Amino acid sequence: MPQSDLLPGGAPGAGGPLIRFDGVVKRFGANTVLDELDFTVDAGERVTLIGPSGSGKTTILRLLMTLEKVTGGVIWVNGEPLSHMRGKGGLVRAGEKHQREVRKRIGMVFQQFNLFPNMTVRQNVTEGPIHSLGVSRDEANQRAEELLDLVGLGEKIDAHPTRLSGGQQQRVAIARALAMRPEILLLDEVTSALDPELVSGVLDVLRGIAESTDITMLCVTHEMHFARDVSHRVLMFDQGKIVEEGPPEQIFGDPREERTRTFLHAVL
Ligand code: ADP
């Protein structure tokens, strides 16, 4: 099967951007983490969020996964609100069906792999498609085999995750996310918990997916070389705001803002 069939990317929305953050505010108590944030991501675009720790990057991904709720503003996906939100013009209501559909279209890979330890690798990858998408067991198994081959773990399909290295577990987590055929893939510091020698194997898998599909990716990473290689656009965050954005060649090669320069100087 050609990889483009195996890993379909996002179908464009109704002409507009696939994701739109519109004046999004997020507070935890008195701490304003995102402050009137506006940005968009087009279908098929790969956008990397960089910036110092605590600048709100992970919160953005968690809001998209509806693991957190916005305090204000609206997040639109495919032209519809992600959930009920209070925008500038008042309450924006989201249909229940749309909310369920949107959640299914977004996949996330976390820093801690979050695999089900009591299930085999195969069960980890087939569980979601069978129970949430209603895919037959045979079809889910076939897809799991293809995806595990793609991430280089075909022969570990019947192993338990606890027997795998961190890098292997993270590659299973990537296969598990892709098994749901997401339109949008969110990657949250997916190599931060790995021993240094395991990082490149995971990044190579992600590079391959980026190159062979048009899946929309939103990625938080400290791996600046990876960000440079895979991103169409880089957003530099500080204190819940976008300080600077641009193509990776410009952000990494010729940053305009002093804050970006000092951040890159510290991490590169
Ligand atoms: P980054 O990903 O850029 O490191 P985060 O989005 O993780 O930043 O965190 C931004 C800020 O939000 C931090 O000050 C963090 O302490 C705070 N924060 C994140 N999640 C929570 C939470 N569940 N409860 C309280 N504060 C939180």
Q: Is residue 61 assigned to a domain?
A: no
262 has pLDDT over 70? yes
Q: Is residue 78 assigned to a domain?
A: no
Ligand 1 centroid – CA 34 distance (Å)? 10
Q: Is residue 168 assigned to a domain?
A: yes
58 lines ligand 1 (CB under 6 A): yes
**Which ligand 1 atom is nearest residue 188's CA?**
2
What pLDDT score does 102 carry?
82
Q: Is residue 144 assigned to a domain?
A: yes
Q: Is residue 225 assigned to a domain?
A: no
Query: Closest Cα to atom 1, ligand 1: which residue?
Result: 54
Q: Is residue 206 assigned to a domain?
A: no
String of DSSP letters for the chain? --HHHHS--PPP-SSS-SEEEEEEEEEETTEEEEEEEEEEE-TT-EEEEE-STTSSHHHHHHHHTTSS--SEEEEEETTEESSSEEETTEEE---HHHHHHHHHHEEEE-SS----TTS-HHHHHHHHHHHHS---HHHHHHHHHHHHHHTT-GGGTTS-GGGS-HHHHHHHHHHHHHHT--SEEEEESTTTTS-HHHHHHHHHHHHHHHHH---EEEEE-S-HHHHHHH-SEEEEEETTEEEEEE-HHHHHHS--SHHHHHHHHHH-
pLDDT digits (tens, 9 = 90+) for 167-196: 999 999 999 999 999 999 999 999 999 999
Pocket test for ligand 1, best of 31, 69, 110, 222 (most atoms within 8 A of CB): 31
Q: Is residue 177 assigned to a domain?
A: yes
What pLDDT score does 2 carry?
40
What pLDDT score does 146 carry?
97
State the average pLDDT over residues 34-62. 97
Q: Is residue 3 assigned to a domain?
A: no
Ligand 1 centroid – CA 2 distance (Å)? 40
pLDDT digits (tens, 9 = 90+) for 77-126: 988 888 767 777 777 777 777 777 888 889 999 999 899 999 999 999 99
What pLDDT score does 101 carry?
80
Structural domains in the chain (count): 1
- Find out whether 115 and 161 touch, Cβ atoms under 8 Å: yes
**Domain range spanning residue 140?**
115-181
Ligand 1 centroid – CA 260 distance (Å)? 20
28 lines ligand 1 (CB under 6 A): yes
State the average pLDDT over residues 208-227. 94
pLDDT digits (tens, 9 = 90+) for 130-156: 999 999 999 999 999 999 999 999 999
What pLDDT score does 15 carry?
65
